[in-house]
Structure 1
Amino acid sequence: MGVATAPAGPLADADLTGPGRAHWLRVARESADDLATDAVAREQAGKPPLDEVSRLREAGLLTLLVPAGSGGGGADWPTAYAVVREIATADAAIGQLLAGHYFLSWSARFLAEPAHAARLERQCAAEQWCWGGGLAGQDVPLTLARARGGQVLDGRQSYATGVLVADRLAVRAVRADTGEPLAVVVDPARHGVGTGGDADAFGQRLAAGGSVEFDAVPVTPDDVLGSLSVDEDDLSPVTAMASPVGRLLSVQLRLGMAEGVLAEAREYSRAGHAHRHAARPAGAPQDPHALAAYGELTVLTRSASALADQALEAVHAGLARGEDLTYDEYADVSVLVAMAEAASSRAAQESTARALDIVGARSASMRLGFDRFWRNARTHTLYEPVGPRLREVGDYFLNGTHPPFVLPV
């Protein structure tokens, strides 16, 4: 069994009538520049990112993936990945918020009937929803039980991205009578839903994360998107693509963190502020230590980026295969994404940590805010550890074992 390669097949036809990729990349750069102007102050204030979500909404980025015919931006996943990465270079927490929004708002495409998904997308575009929640498994799952007149949702999800600003929550619940896991959409304004800003992580503080509780919340048939069962009788290869699609968002987020800290450290070094030697500013062309560090981190980040590009091409090709996608092809895609996860995690952690050494003692200044890059990267990689992904790559390489269906936290 060799190392995974992208499955054969053409990329998806762009049956899109939106403004196009160039437009959205320009909008993303402008939005990132806007977020960068007050990134340090906003991160230190730690307020729920209501203003930041308004900025994304006004830029049209919340409806980016909704078909143009349904009132959205008409963009594809490669464009959405590029947008998340661009935003993350300026503000990793808002990048995470946007990434979670894209994955959860698209989840109906993977799990629900086409007509159901289309209705949901039209309403999402019309009302400019921001999505939050999470579909990954929990130690104590939410339960969906039958009640008079329908079903009710009960339980507590200890952490979910975007809950403090979300217009819709997509969560995982198990059916009380059968144990089948389901994806459920809930309006957080509905009676019985309570959200709490009790996330006390030292990083990603503006991702609007927190707990959410459900106390006999009514659930209609339209609120149930579909099954999250890993049984191959229920989980088709095309539905299983939800896993690599979502996990590749984390890859782009990590790469944005690495590229963002290197760009900011470079600008600071070029200005000659940090001094390692009385006659030679750190990061200046004469400093061999800074040159070597920048060189090594650039190679590390560019290498991870190249692997991410291979994974993106594989994901895009897998989506284009649609119902013709096989389990073997899905496994190839999933393993490539796992490789990119491992490489991007290392790039983000090393770049955000070692950039502090390059800048020197002044990187400890709260006014400069260099620490936020490290705190954000470390927090994200703790929630999304790469150890399991590396084991999956090794098991696939050695034994040909298909990786499990794993959704991003």
Structure 2
Amino acid sequence: MTPTPKTPSPAGGRSADERRRALLRTARDVADDLGADAIVRDQAGKPPTDETARLREAGLPAALTPPGPGRGADWRTGCAVIREIASADSSVGDVLARHYVHAWSGRFYAGHHHATALEEESVREQWLWTGAVHAPAPNDYADGPDLTLRPRTTGYVLNGRRSVDTAVAAADQIVVDAVCTATGDVLVVRIPPSARGVTVEPALDRLGQRVAGAGEVVLDRVAVTPGQVLGRRPHDEESTPPFTALAEPALRLALCHVGLGIAEGALTEARDLSRGGRAHRLPGEDPDLLLTYGELASAAQTATAVVDRATEVMAQALATGAQLDAEEPAGVAALVATAETVTSKATLHISARVLELADAPGLDRFWRNARVLTAHRPVAHRLRSIGEHYLNGSDRAVAASFR
């Protein structure tokens, strides 16, 4: 049953804890709703039009915005909601994770007043966010930028194409970075997909995360007003403000919660099959099955502990805001890289092993989803970054794309 439509509620005397509990209850209701037909929707592999409608009906896009007076969700709560949804349908969890982090774009790149107005409008209009912002790298745009901004009297004209991992045809705002042809500055802008000159090309027949709505956005002479420009994205890590440096690890950490949701969903579904007598082996007949479940549950709990620690440190850094110490983002990024490494291994391992425990339609989706979610983030790269930070105390963050 589709959740009862909700609208973002003002503070209205409710404490932050009461609003948090209400939001988590809503997330559980939405997760139950999504779980009921997750296999059918995965097999269909259609753009997430229905799924995003369910999110909007439950008020989740408005609720998962940066915290403000009587609105938004703090980092811990936002991640808890993402994990809950991902355990039922990781494609939708992916959509929500990227929405939540891209909704922080105003704080990462814009001034305080611009960010506040943007967040209030996002809550009011129930905007769903997505995007793909590159992180600063030494050889950034070595072969020429894929997106360019040409100045004109009333703003800019945006051209190019960019791959987007979620909701490319269903979002209300797409956040991208582009090079200004006049100054060489890299500017972060938001584009409504309905704007003239914007077309989307959905990615079809994906191995996993098939309902996430990935694709490519094509921008042909799209008008960008000054109000759509969030700010400047620095060319390198050394010139990146500490708070802005949190943008990329924040997304990676949110996706760790999607990975944990996959692991938890796979284990729960396999356990229910075993209890219902639909597994290859029954617990009472094969004590080794208990050993296997113990191993897998321990792997999930270990990953959860590491991710929760990184989540706590990230929450503290985000709450510090503009007063964040210049060295702190590197430590946060190292913790996120550790969480990402542990979660990737655990999720792939768990989602593959459950296929040995039970044979049921749709159980393979967990491994397929985990494979796609982790494919573009090599573990070896993360381990080297962790090692560099541990051995040399490097202040450099882990270079990757904010996508």
Give the structure-1-normalised TM-score.
0.88
Which whole-Å CA distance do the structure 2 matches of 1:387 and 1:184 have between them? 32
Write the letter of the residue equivalent to 1:44.
Q
Which whole-Å CA distance do the structure 1 matches of 2:369 and 2:237 have between them? 36
Once the two structures are superposed, residues 137-165 of structure 1 have per-residue CA deviations (whole angstroms, 9 ceiling, x without a partner) of: 58752111123543110001134321110
| Within-5 A mapping of 1:87-106 | 87-106=85-104
Identity across aligned pairs (percent)?
A: 45
1:86 is aligned to 84
Which whole-Å CA distance do the structure 1 matches of 2:17 and 2:49 have between them? 27
1:75 is aligned to 73
1:377 is aligned to 370
1:25 is aligned to 24
Of the three residues 367, 381, 387, the one matched with 1:394 is 387
**How well do the aligned residues superpose, as a CA RMSD in angstroms?**
2.1
Of 110-119 and 340-349, the range deviating more from structure 2? 110-119
2:173 is aligned to 168
1:135 is aligned to 133
Of the three residues 194, 213, 219, the one matched with 2:224 is 219
Which whole-Å CA distance do the structure 2 matches of 1:125 and 1:67 have between them? 10
1:34 to 1:331, Cα distance in 2 relative to 1, 3 A: same
How much has 1:109 moved relative to structure 2?
1.4
2:212 is aligned to 207
Which whole-Å CA distance do the structure 1 matches of 2:19 and 2:88 have between them? 23
Residue 105 (structure 2) pairs with residue 107 (structure 1): yes
Unmatched tracts of structure 1, length 5 or more: 1-14, 276-281
How much has 1:22 moved relative to structure 2?
1.3
1:181 to 1:69, Cα distance in 2 relative to 1, 3 A: closer
Residue 160 (structure 2) pairs with residue 155 (structure 1): yes
Which whole-Å CA distance do the structure 2 matches of 1:375 and 1:393 have between them? 27
1:232 to 1:387, Cα distance in 2 relative to 1, 3 A: closer
CA contact (8 A) 1:174 1:182 kept: yes
CA contact (8 A) 1:151 1:218 kept: yes
1:317 is aligned to 316
CA contact (8 A) 1:384 1:408 kept: no
Which whole-Å CA distance do the structure 1 matches of 2:180 and 2:380 have between them? 30
Which whole-Å CA distance do the structure 2 matches of 1:159 and 1:398 have between them? 35
Aligned length: 382
CA contact (8 A) 1:315 1:333 kept: yes
**SS of 1:146's equivalent?**
strand
**SS of 1:189's equivalent?**
coil
1:49 is aligned to 48
1:233 to 1:371, Cα distance in 2 relative to 1, 3 A: closer
Write the letter of the residue equivalent to 1:36.
G
1:163 to 1:16, Cα distance in 2 relative to 1, 3 A: farther
Which whole-Å CA distance do the structure 1 matches of 2:258 and 2:271 have between them? 20
CA contact (8 A) 1:110 1:238 kept: yes
CA contact (8 A) 1:247 1:407 kept: no
CA contact (8 A) 2:190 2:229 kept: yes
**SS of 1:62's equivalent?**
helix
| Within-5 A mapping of 1:201-350 | 201-231=206-236, 234-275=239-280, 282-350=281-349
Of 375-384 and 227-236, the range deviating more from structure 2? 227-236
Of 132-141 and 150-159, the range deviating more from structure 2? 132-141
How much has 1:400 moved relative to structure 2?
1.6
Which whole-Å CA distance do the structure 1 matches of 2:131 and 2:320 have between them? 29
**SS of 1:74's equivalent?**
coil
Once the two structures are superposed, residues 283-331 of structure 1 have per-residue CA deviations (whole angstroms, 9 ceiling, x without a partner) of: 4233133222211111111111101111011111112322332222221
Once the two structures are superposed, residues 364-395 of structure 1 have per-residue CA deviations (whole angstroms, 9 ceiling, x without a partner) of: xxxx2001111100001013333322111011
1:36 is aligned to 35
CA contact (8 A) 1:175 1:181 kept: yes
1:222 to 1:372, Cα distance in 2 relative to 1, 3 A: same
CA contact (8 A) 1:18 1:74 kept: no
